[in-house]
Structures are given as C-alpha cells and as structure tokens.
A and B are shown apart, each in its own frame.
Chain A
Amino acid sequence: MNELLHVENLRKFFVTSRGTVKAVQDVSFAIHPGETFGLVGESGSGKSTVAYMVMGMYRPSGGRILFKGKDITVPHSRRPLSLKKDLQIVFQDPGSSLNPRRSVWEILELPLLVHRMVDRGKVKERVEELLSMVELPPDYAEKYPRALGGGEKQMVAIARALSTEPSLLVLDEPTSALDVSIQAKIINTLVRIQQERNLGYLFITHDLSLMRNIAHRVAIMYLGRIMELAPSQVFFERPLHPYTQMLLSSIPVVSEEEEKLKPGKIVSTGEIPSPVNLPPGCPFHPRCHRAQRLCREKEPGMVEVEEGHFVRCLLYTG
C-alpha cells in the first residue's frame, strides 16, 4: 500500500470568544502517487483547514498525518527541510501569493536556492525550464507580478511549487478567482505535469463540475466532516448523501446532457449554519430534505456502502 499521504481522524478546534469552532472533525483519507484526491464543499466546510493542517500551517487538535509512512503531525516550523521540499502548496489568490516587490526570477529562484536544487551557475537555466513547463515565455522572468494576468501569476505559483520536485501538491482553490478559459489552460497543465511526474494532488474546490474533470476520488465536506467519499464517477453518477444530491442539483450547467445527469431539483433552503453552534445529531439535518426524527438526535458515523464508497448518513447505517 504505497500511500503518499494518510490522514487519520483529523480534528481542529478553534477557541474563540463566541465559543469553540469545530472546524474539522474526524476526517480521514489517503492519497496515492499519480492520484488527484478532491475535497469539495461550501464555505465553513473546513476543506481549507484540512489543507493547512497537512501543510503544517495549523496544528491539529487531534488525529495524525502520515507522509510516506512518517508521522508529520507537527507545525511547519518544526518540520525538516526535506519535508518542505517534498510537500508544496498552491494558494487560491494569485494576487497575494506572489510578492509584488519581487520579480518572477527572484520568486522562482528562492526554492531552488533554499533546497540547493541546482548549482549557482545553473539557476538561470532552471528558471527558464520552469517557465517553459508552465508555458510562459522566458522573458517573463524579468517581469513583476503586477504586469501579469491572474492566470499567469497562478502559473508562476505552480512553477514555484513544482521547482523543488515535490511528491504531493496541495492546491487550494487554485482557479476559483480566474476566468474559465484561463482555468482550462491551468487545469490541463496540471494534469499533464501530474502524468509526467506521477504526482499526487490534494485538490480543493467548491466547483463540482471542475472536480468531475480532474479528481480520481472525491470527498465532500460539510461543517467539518466528510459526508461522502467515493471514486469520481460513482460520486457524480450515484450520489447517496442528501447533501451531495442537493449540491449537484443546484449547479448551473451548459448543456442538456448535463442536465440529465443531475439529480432531481432539490431547492436548498436556509443559510449555512455557523460552525460555532452546531445543531445536535447530524449537522446537516436542518437543511436536509430527507431528515427524520432520529437525525436530530443521533450523529451518523462513516459507513462503507460499496467498495470505496463511504457515506455518513443514517439512511445508510441500517
């Protein structure tokens, strides 16, 4: 079982003046080389928090994170340099992930120097190789981020993340702020590079249609818990959890054939509750179109309904 990343019962609580925010609870999954694992959910679902814990930006309140078999559940300041080389992240907002006062050259050079990827003399060559990997012309090295479009900035961020030749890349909504034609280019580039280098991706987005085209396995989160986890095709063609069904029925699509693939229209009502005052029982029951009395009292556990297909819902607990 060659797992790149293994996350077990991960938990994160934030103590605030308004109460304890249970941002992430009981999250477990694994990612293999060459696989894209998708984490999907709305705001407050905790998907970014999971990513930040994997990267060591947040300290988990409970659970374990294993990378290539080794326990890495420590903050990133205590992680060895070799780990930082092997595990990288691309953030959502390209505008703020590149230092506006540093040129593309300086931005790409940093990881190469920190991890001594190349000799000093070969840095220029390597930077140009990185730029061509993301299909940017070599003269972009002289430019500053403000001269670049959103998509180009994100390409630089991706090139920077890949410059240390990591095994796993975490991508937190990498294309959410971008236009669809630019997103297409970036996604295709990411897929190509993944195939060339057998990389694992932890891909986070709220865009279900995008997830359908990039992920091998998908997990959907709601208020800190994974509600359903399945291989991509199964997830989209046979969604079992009412929340998955509700989300899938609301997404805008562009063709008739896609309409036919959507579950019947479930009108969502009400607001997404805040993770501070979680209702008892199943967290989704206030908005659930199939809620029963038991759902208000008992919290469902994760159940494997068929091979590789997990659901957290009392309808399937038997």
Chain B
Amino acid sequence: MRRTKIGRWWYKFSQNPLSVAGLVIVILVVFCAVFASWVAPYPEHAGPYVNYNEANHPPSLSHPFGTDVFGRDVLSRVIFAFRSSLLMGVVVLAMVVPVGVTLGLLAGYFKESWIDILIMRITDIFLSVPPLILALAITSVLKPNLTNAMIAVSVMWWPWYTRLVYGMATSLRNEYFVQSAELIGASKFHILFREILPNCVSTILTKMTLDMGWVILIGAALSFVGLGEQPPKPALGTMVADGAKYLPEYWWISVFPGLAIMLIVLGFNLLGDGIGDLFSLEEA
C-alpha cells in the first residue's frame, strides 16, 4: 500500500468522525452555493418573484421547506442565500487576514518598541468596542448593502488576527532558529515572513476555518436587522427576520433559514477542529 502525504493527512483527519462530518457539510454548502442555479428546484424564486396563490404553504413534497409570504420556495432561497453568506466569509477573511497577520508579526517581533505599543494599543481599542455595536454603527453610517456589511465586519475582525499572531511571534522570536537567522545577518523582512510566519500558518488556517462560521453568523445578524444584503436578494438573516412576524403559525419561514445558519457554523467549526487536530498531531 503506497503511503502518500495526502493519504497520511486523511488517515489522521478521519480518525475523528466529527471532523469528517464538518468537511461533508462544508463541501455541501459550497457546492450548493456555486451550483445554486442547478441545485435549487425553483431558481427564479431567488429573484423578484411573487405568486400570492402559493404564499405561506407549509412544507410539502413540492416545497420541502414551504413557501414564504410572497409565495417563494424557501428551500431555493436558502440555497441561493448560501452565496452571500460564503461571499461574506471569504471576502472578509481575504481583507482581514493579511492586514491582521502583518500587524501582529511586526508588533510581536519588535516587542516593547514603539511599534509594538502603537499597534497593540490600537488593537486593544478596536477589541474593546462590542463587535456588533461597531458593525451596526458603521453600516448605519454607510448605505446598507452587502459590500458595506463586509467592510463593517472586516473593521472589527482584524484585531483578532493581530492578537493571535502577536502571541506567537513573541515566543517564536526567541527560538534558536530565529536567532540563528539574525546571527547570520538575514534581513528583518526575511525573519518576519520567511522564518516566523511559516510557523504561524497552521494556527492561522485553523482560525480562518473556524472564523468562516462566525463571520457568516455576524453577517446573518447584520442582515437580520436589515443592514446586509438587501431584498429581493436572499440572505439567511433577512429571511429569519422576515419570517419572525409570522411565528409560530408559519414557522417554516424562519426556522429553516435559522437551521441553515446553524448548519453552516457547525460545519465550519467541526472542520476547523479537525484541521487544528491535524496540524497539532503533525508535529509529533
């Protein structure tokens, strides 16, 4: 039996069935988001569609998640809503990670210098504001739409990466291999990005995976109060809000989007745990 690197990773990863479950959920969600037009039974319901004859029907064979007040198929809308959720997660992380990580590296390596103090105090300020309040404040100043929601979440999310990397950089800079590089005369750029950063990557990746779930959740919270993706484009939070008025009679309008949010967060959490285990055991 050939032993490949991927095979070894899968062997370790699959030791925990929950991690595998997480991976399956995430793959499913991504698949639905990408191929929504083909997967959703009524793709046109994700746009401006109205049919009052079909409104508020409970779950049935033709509409497994029921229909909402405008007669739109809830299942199809949930599948399309995955798109804005995932987009939010990906874009926010793409903006936040480079900035947060770089700041953390600088502050940690130059610990106790003015760089450290400047960066970490700013980080502390951002961290001290309750996240949701900050996001709400920003989105209410700007026009409410998906782009601005992403900006708002990014603004409050970057400090976590700075903190995370700061801690790691602070301890890594005392490692003998970093001191060796310094003694050899390597440039600061080299030490930060080629010696220290590679040793942080596994932790950062794990956090990014877990964060996907949380960013999506915050995004849903924002759209719940009307500050995210605007109608008629479907968004999970908005769908929960719209259906809230009709609880408990037409429960399916809120509950299924809510379950979808839960599923996404759960999936990324389990996957993130699995990835974390994979990296920590690799060192052994």
Contacts and interface: CB of A to CB of B under 8 A. Distances in A.
Contacts of A98: 177
Given A89-B183, A110-B181, A114-B186, 19 more contacts: A57-B179, A76-B182, A76-B183, A84-B184, A85-B185, A89-B180, A96-B175, A97-B177, A97-B180, A99-B177, A99-B178, A100-B199, A100-B283, A101-B199, A106-B194, A110-B184, A110-B190, A115-B185, A160-B184
Interface string A230-252: 00000000000000000000000
A169 to B, nearest CB: 12
Nearest to A56: B183
Given A114-B184, A114-B185, A102 B194 contact: yes
A46 B249 CA distance: 79
A2 B201 CA distance: 49
Interface in A164-209: 164
Nearest to B282: A146
Interface in A92-111: 93, 96-102, 106, 110-111
Interface of B: 175-187, 190, 194-195, 198-199, 201, 283
B186 A57 contact: no
B186 A99 contact: no
27 contacts: A55-B183, A56-B183, A57-B183, A76-B182, A76-B183, A81-B185, A84-B183, A84-B184, A91-B180, A93-B176, A96-B177, A97-B180, A99-B177, A100-B283, A101-B199, A102-B194, A106-B194, A110-B181, A110-B186, A110-B190, A111-B185, A114-B186, A114-B187, A115-B185, A157-B180, A160-B180, A160-B184
B183 A99 contact: no
B278 to A, nearest CB: 15
A99 B195 contact: yes
Contacts of A93: 176
A88 interface: yes
A160 B181 CA distance: 10
Nearest to B179: A57
Nearest to B201: A101
B177 A88 contact: no
Contacts of A100: 177, 199, 283
Nearest to A93: B176
A74 B277 CA distance: 44
Contacts of B190: 110
Report the interface size class on chain A: 20 to 34
Please indicate which of the listed interface residues B176, B198, B199 has the most CB atoms of chain A within 10 Å of its own CB: B176
B116 to A, nearest CB: 17
A230 B187 CA distance: 41
A57 B181 CA distance: 12
Nearest to A52: B179
Nearest to B178: A99
A110 B198 CA distance: 16
Contacts of A55: 183
Nearest to B198: A101
A88 B183 contact: yes
Contacts of A146: 283
A160 B182 CA distance: 13
A100 B282 CA distance: 11
A287 B180 CA distance: 38
Nearest to B196: A99
**Which 4 A-B pairs have CB atoms at the shortest separation, nearest pair first?**
A101-B198, A97-B176, A99-B177, A84-B185
Contacts of A164: 184
Nearest to B202: A101
A88 B182 CA distance: 11
Nearest to A84: B185
A76 B186 CA distance: 12
A106 B199 CA distance: 15
A101 B172 CA distance: 13
B199 A99 contact: yes
Contacts of A160: 180, 184
Contacts of B176: 91, 93, 96-97
Nearest to A101: B198
A110 B179 CA distance: 13
Nearest to B197: A101
